[in-house]
Chain A
Amino acid sequence: MKLKTYTLKTKLIILYVFSIMLPLLLISQMILSIYQKQIVNQTIQLTDESSKQTSQNVENMLEEYSSLLSQFSFDDTLRNYLNPARSYENIEDSIDAYQYYLKPITYDFVTRNSTNSLKVYFLNETLLQGLGIYERVDESISKLDRYQLAVEHKFRTIWTREGNELYVSRMIGSLVGVPYGVVSIELQQDRLYALIGESNPRDKLIVILDEQGTVISSNDRSLQGSSWLGKSYYTQIRQEKHGMMDLNDNGKFKLLYRNLQGKDLPSWTIVTQVPLDTLLKEANQVRNTGLAMMAGTLLLSILFIIFFVNRMTNRIRNLVRVMSSVKKGTLTKAPESDIQDEVGMLTTSFNLMVDGLDNSIQENMRVQLSLKDAEIKKQEAELYALQSQINPHFLFNTLESIRMKLLVLPQNETASNMIFNLSKILRKALNWKHDIIPLREELEFVRSYLDIQKSRFRDKIEDQLEVEEALMDYPIPKLIIQPLVENSIKHGIERKKGRGHIWISVQSGHQGIEVVVKDDGLGIPPDRLAHLQETLGMRREERPERESIGIVNVHDRVVLHYGEGYGLQIESEEQLGTIIRIRLPRGGE
């Protein structure tokens, strides 16, 4: 199948699929793939930033402890009070020491820290222990790591883990390093945990390792106390200040690590482990959801397009179907809607065209019918005239008259005139080729006819013709006066006793030209006159067939030729005569 044969609807849908749907799907797929990679990259980047921040926060917290420890460790007055050489044999001296210094310097710590984690171990033998803070070094204390290591490393900050507790300690002593005691603070593990505990270990596992590779805190509390020494990558993460690596250990992971840096800070490592599988799963979920949404939306859009194209092409199809039927001759209009787009306008225009065509055809038919009718009437008139002229009765009468004239010789002239007139009539009847003739010719025809009739009835008929000379060339349809004259003689004068007069006048007036044929014959009976007038007032198609063919034929031909408003008027009074008027336009055509 070639593209040319596809319907407009198919073409539009193909256009939509190839120009919108497929590119959009392709672009979406590309965007979502890029987005998926971005998610992974950004998550790792964010995790790195977060790990850096966590590391910073841990450092800040530890520095806070270290700084607090320094305050105690380098406090000259405290050192003085704790000096083993100082005697507190008198108990009041101990009371004073606590009242004036040892107690006040711990206020701040006690107020800010909820647990009593500050310890000052002292070697002085006479100072009273007190406040739950100041404790004399006995055998058990001297064995504590936090004490031993602090004394061993002089004024260095020592970070120790004893059981599950973390301590930071520092020696208090003379400037030359003779120990007077050790100040120690237990780290609040809640604070440490608070820095890492917010994230879910399944999304992001965070562990803080001490220098022995033991987990000292983690957002997965079950890991606390476990050792990471055995991990293959342990050495690597301890070597660099910070970095990241890919890890395959029951799944894919990204491992980010940072080692704490600072003079008084412990050698701890903060490790963040991000499960890539989970991350990719989430990213895939995002992509699949995106694609599903896109497919759903496109499906919706294609349904919408099909619906829309259907609506549009249906209207075009309807128009084409109506056009075909018009082409076959059925003038049908296409159904119109209120949509005023191009198809709507085309439909409206087409319907207007069909309307116009219908009107033209109707008008044309009317004109054709009129012309046909006129032609028939003319032919009828001609035929009638011819029939009149050549009808046997007329001929017999004329010839009988001639014969009688010929019998009486003195009348041979009359007979000769009759023959002459008959021949003129016959000649005219036979030779009139044109429908329109000058008034003169019609009058000549009337004259010949009258003369024949006058010869026939001797002096029974008297006529009078009054015609303006200027009107003699006035063109008129042929045979419109002669039938009237014939009618006057035949129905008015012939059967009248005595002489009859016929007046024929053609005059020009304001309203046109008026031809009047008047007689003083028997007139028309009223009922017949009324019928005749009614017939003349009717339209031709309403009239009964072959009604008063003579007068009505004349009337019809005048109307057909000049239009409504022209034609015949009859006035008659019984025993007095009849007047027939023909109104014609001034111009003649």
Chain B
Amino acid sequence: MRTKLSVLLLISTMLMGLLGCGNKQNTEPDSASSNAANSSNEVVTIKVFHSNIGTIPNNVLDNPVMQEIEKRIGVKLDFSPFNGGSQEDANQRLSTLIASGDLPDLIITNDGSINQLLLKNNMIEPLDELIASYGTDLTKNVKEGLDYSKAMYSQGQDKLYFVPGLIGDESFYPMGYDLVFQVRGDLLAKMGKTELTSLDDLLAYGKEAQKLEPANAEGQKTYLTGIPFSDAGGWDYVDWNVSHNDGFAGVNGFSYLDSERNTLVPRFTDPDNSFWKAMKFWNTAYLDGLLDPESVTMKGQQVQDKGKALRYHLGLANWQIGWPNNEILSKKDPEKGFVPTLLDAKSDYNFFRFASPVGNNMLWSISKNSEHKDKVMAFMNLAASWEGVELMWNGTEGALWEMKDGVPKSLPADPDKPADPDAAKKEGNTYMAPNFIINGKTINTDKNWKVKYSDNAPEQYITSMTEAEKQFIKDHNLDYPTQIFEDREHYSINTSLIDPVQADPTSDISAIEQKIKTYLDTNIARVIYSKDEAAFTAAKDKFITDLKGMDIDKVMDFYKNGFEENKKKLADVQ
């Protein structure tokens, strides 16, 4: 019987062998159906949305940093959901993605209302289990940020939904003029000045500068500066530096956070505050022909383009005018250069450097629909690990840095060659840091070195300075330009208690808020563009009256109360 069976089996096998080749079936495993929890070595492309990203040249970047990330964690980043634009563009894009049900795997936005919407509509994944499985560096290095987020952003749920960016950041940039005015040091020198001290000085500088340099090298007309009023919220630049000099930070709820008193004060409806001081300044600048008239129709990109083309003599922030010093260095211009200046700055409380001990308001969340939650968390963990953070800040070894005496240090700039303004783009680190960094701490406590390797070689700062900056530090006896404000007692503001306060997107407060934002978008420029002082005063009065008529006080109260409540919550967390 056994023989009979074996004969039958043999015959069946032969028949199958004979016939089988005619019926070839795909027996490969269905690679597309891989489970989300399957954290294999397979390279996975995750779609990323970042609302404040610089312009990304391709949806998927191919550079050493990206290759290293892929090698380390098997993740490719696809920026197709949004590859650059204004905050307004970003919000529109994200709203479209939400509406079309096509949420990217990783969502990073500082729009509190959208984040609330995502959480309220159950569109994002609780992160606790993912962190437990794939996020050891998150809990090891930035636990305080996670605890803070759970307490502040999870709307009472005992789960973590958002991971804030740059937890523990102190935003130290030796040549980073992010919160202070920056003027052309070479023009100042030509004017016979070493510094400016007031806004009036600045106006005088503008006029003088236009005379000294009425057009750029290409013959295009120059201005003091431009403000991208055509971007939603572009008016934020109006009082950006003036309020910082006064120790205020513009925050949610149309308010300032007064760093000295740690309280919220009106931003738009107090006729004698920093905002209106700045508004008056810009009106004067406009009337004097110093403000680029196209400001009213420009978007941020155009302002940056003009800044790079050295059509502006004043910068309100490095990025606002497109990091012109990099352009100057790349052209090896022997004299030009922007230097910081502190105008009418208070002596004790200022806002010249960002600080986010428990993270900023750029919140990271993972879409519930993502098929690669494990890989997204792997990327988030990389952004919290020392190795990942240092890769993002500095690029790969040998390109922009090297190990020297057991410490990683930036490569010194070659004095004989013009600096390549795109070096960090080619390496890829510029697309990653600081936007994709969660662990913002400056010192790697495992290795005891600074995570930004340029800070491990401060003696090399000077090799990356323009001639004007070199002159500036010499005149002021500094090691680096931003050291100018470091002798002050308080020069950074932590907004982590006001950032989480958000009105429910469906509430009256939110409706009022939206209405006021639209009003601000369309009317701030109009006030600035008033034809004369009388018109300005009238426009100002109307502006304040209109806002009050729109119940701006209700919104301010809502945020003020929220801020006070968060103070208590923070006390509980601590």
Q: Residues on A close to B: CB < 8 A?
A: 24, 91-92, 94-95, 98-99, 102-103, 107, 110-111, 114-116, 128-132, 134, 190, 290, 293-294, 296-297, 300-301, 304, 308, 339
| Known contacts A128-B297, A130-B298, A132-B299; is-contact A114 B83 (Cβ 8 Å) | yes
Of A115, A190, A297, most buried by chain B (CB within 10 Å of CB) is A297
Is B230 a contact of A111 with CB atoms below 8 Å? no
| Known contacts A95-B529, A98-B230, A132-B302; is-contact A293 B297 (Cβ 8 Å) | no
A102 to B299, CA, bound (A): 13
A128 to B291, CA, bound (A): 14
A115 to B55, CA, bound (A): 9
Q: Which residues of A contact B84 (CB under 8 A)?
A: 114
Is B14 a contact of A290 with CB atoms below 8 Å? no
CB within 8 Å of A: which B519-542 residues: 522, 525-526, 529
A114 to B78, CA, bound (A): 13
A410 to B43, CA, bound (A): 155
Is A94 a contact of B93 with CB atoms below 8 Å? no
* Contact for A300 among B14, B93, B301, CB less than 8 A: B14
CB within 8 Å of A: which B374-406 residues: none
Tell whether B89 is near chain A: CB-to-CB under 8 Å: yes
Supply 19 further A-B pairs (C-beta < 8 A) apart from A128-B296, A131-B299.
Answer: A91-B296, A92-B529, A95-B529, A98-B230, A103-B230, A111-B89, A111-B96, A114-B80, A130-B297, A131-B297, A131-B298, A134-B297, A190-B59, A293-B21, A296-B17, A297-B17, A297-B18, A300-B17, A304-B11
A131 to B293, CA, bound (A): 13
Is A98 a contact of B296 with CB atoms below 8 Å? yes
| Known contacts A111-B92, A304-B10; is-contact A95 B299 (Cβ 8 Å) | no
Q: Which residues of A contact B18 (CB under 8 A)?
A: 24, 294, 297
Q: Which residues of B contact A107 (CB under 8 A)?
A: 92
Task: Count B interface residues, CB 8 Å.
Answer: 33
A347 to B10, CA, bound (A): 27
Is B83 a contact of A129 with CB atoms below 8 Å? no
Is B301 a contact of A116 with CB atoms below 8 Å? yes
Tell whether B448 is near chain A: CB-to-CB under 8 Å: no
Name the residue of chain A whose CB is nearest to the CB of B525: A95
Tell whether B294 is near chain A: CB-to-CB under 8 Å: yes
A308 to B10, CA, bound (A): 12
Tell whether B340 is near chain A: CB-to-CB under 8 Å: no
A98 to B526, CA, bound (A): 13
Looking at the assembled complex, report how far the CB atom of B137 sits from the nearest CB atom of chain A, in whole angstroms. 32
Q: Which residues of A contact B298 (CB under 8 A)?
A: 130-132
Is B522 a contact of A99 with CB atoms below 8 Å? yes
CB within 8 Å of A: which B9-45 residues: 10-11, 14, 17-18, 21
Is B85 a contact of A110 with CB atoms below 8 Å? yes
Looking at the assembled complex, report how far the CB atom of B96 sits from the nearest CB atom of chain A, in whole angstroms. 6
Is A98 a contact of B10 with CB atoms below 8 Å? no
Looking at the assembled complex, report how far the CB atom of A285 sits from the nearest CB atom of chain B, in whole angstroms. 13
Q: Which residues of A contact B525 (CB under 8 A)?
A: 95
A297 to B297, CA, bound (A): 79
Enumerate 14 A-B pairs (CB-CB under 8 Å) in ascending A order.
A95-B297, A95-B526, A98-B296, A110-B92, A114-B59, A114-B82, A115-B83, A129-B294, A129-B297, A130-B299, A131-B299, A131-B302, A132-B299, A132-B302
Question: Considering the complex of A and B, which 4 residue pairs feature the smallest CB-CB distances, nearest first?
Answer: A130-B297, A297-B17, A128-B297, A114-B83
A300 to B526, CA, bound (A): 92
A131 to B18, CA, bound (A): 70
Of B21, B293, B297, most buried by chain A (CB within 10 Å of CB) is B297
Tell whether B191 is near chain A: CB-to-CB under 8 Å: no
Q: Which residues of B contact A130 (CB under 8 A)?
A: 230, 294, 296-299, 302
A293 to B17, CA, bound (A): 8
CB within 8 Å of A: which B82-99 residues: 82-85, 89, 92-93, 96
A190 to B11, CA, bound (A): 56
Name the residue of chain B whose CB is nearest to the CB of A304: B10
- Binary interface profile of B, 271-308, with partner A (CB < 8 Å = 1, else 0)? 00000000000000000000001101111011001000
* Contact for A111 among B58, B93, B526, CB less than 8 A: B93
Tell whether B189 is near chain A: CB-to-CB under 8 Å: no
Looking at the assembled complex, report how far the CB atom of A97 sits from the nearest CB atom of chain B, in whole angstroms. 9
Of A114, A116, A132, A134, most buried by chain B (CB within 10 Å of CB) is A114
Is B85 a contact of A91 with CB atoms below 8 Å? no
A339 to B11, CA, bound (A): 19
A293 to B305, CA, bound (A): 67
Q: Which residues of A contact B59 (CB under 8 A)?
A: 114, 190
Name the residue of chain B whose CB is nearest to the CB of A338: B1
Looking at the assembled complex, report how far the CB atom of B294 sits from the nearest CB atom of chain A, in whole angstroms. 5
Looking at the assembled complex, report how far the CB atom of A438 sits from the nearest CB atom of chain B, in whole angstroms. 70
Q: Which residues of A contact B529 (CB under 8 A)?
A: 91-92, 95
| Known contacts A98-B230, A130-B294; is-contact A290 B21 (Cβ 8 Å) | yes
Tell whether B204 is near chain A: CB-to-CB under 8 Å: no
Looking at the assembled complex, report how far the CB atom of A354 sits from the nearest CB atom of chain B, in whole angstroms. 26
Name the residue of chain B whose CB is nearest to the CB of A128: B297
Tell whether B573 is near chain A: CB-to-CB under 8 Å: no
Looking at the assembled complex, report how far the CB atom of B238 sits from the nearest CB atom of chain A, in whole angstroms. 15
Q: Which residues of B contact A102 (CB under 8 A)?
A: 297
Tell whether B7 is near chain A: CB-to-CB under 8 Å: yes
Is B82 a contact of A95 with CB atoms below 8 Å? no
Looking at the assembled complex, report how far the CB atom of A137 sits from the nearest CB atom of chain B, in whole angstroms. 16
Q: Which residues of B contact A301 (CB under 8 A)?
A: 14
* Contact for A190 among B58, B89, B230, CB less than 8 A: B58
Name the residue of chain A whose CB is nearest to the CB of B10: A304
Q: Which residues of A contact B305 (CB under 8 A)?
A: 132
A190 to B78, CA, bound (A): 14
Is B294 a contact of A92 with CB atoms below 8 Å? no
Looking at the assembled complex, report how far the CB atom of A121 sits from the nearest CB atom of chain B, in whole angstroms. 15
Looking at the assembled complex, report how far the CB atom of A73 sits from the nearest CB atom of chain B, in whole angstroms. 21
A339 to B522, CA, bound (A): 101
A322 to B87, CA, bound (A): 103
Q: Which residues of B contact A132 (CB under 8 A)?
A: 298-299, 301-302, 305
A114 to B53, CA, bound (A): 12
A294 to B18, CA, bound (A): 7
Name the residue of chain A whose CB is nearest to the CB of B297: A130
Looking at the assembled complex, report how far the CB atom of B283 sits from the nearest CB atom of chain A, in whole angstroms. 13
Q: Which residues of A contact B526 (CB under 8 A)?
A: 92, 95
Looking at the assembled complex, report how far the CB atom of A12 sits from the nearest CB atom of chain B, in whole angstroms. 16
Name the residue of chain A whose CB is nearest to the CB of B1: A338
Looking at the assembled complex, report how far the CB atom of B76 sits from the nearest CB atom of chain A, in whole angstroms. 16
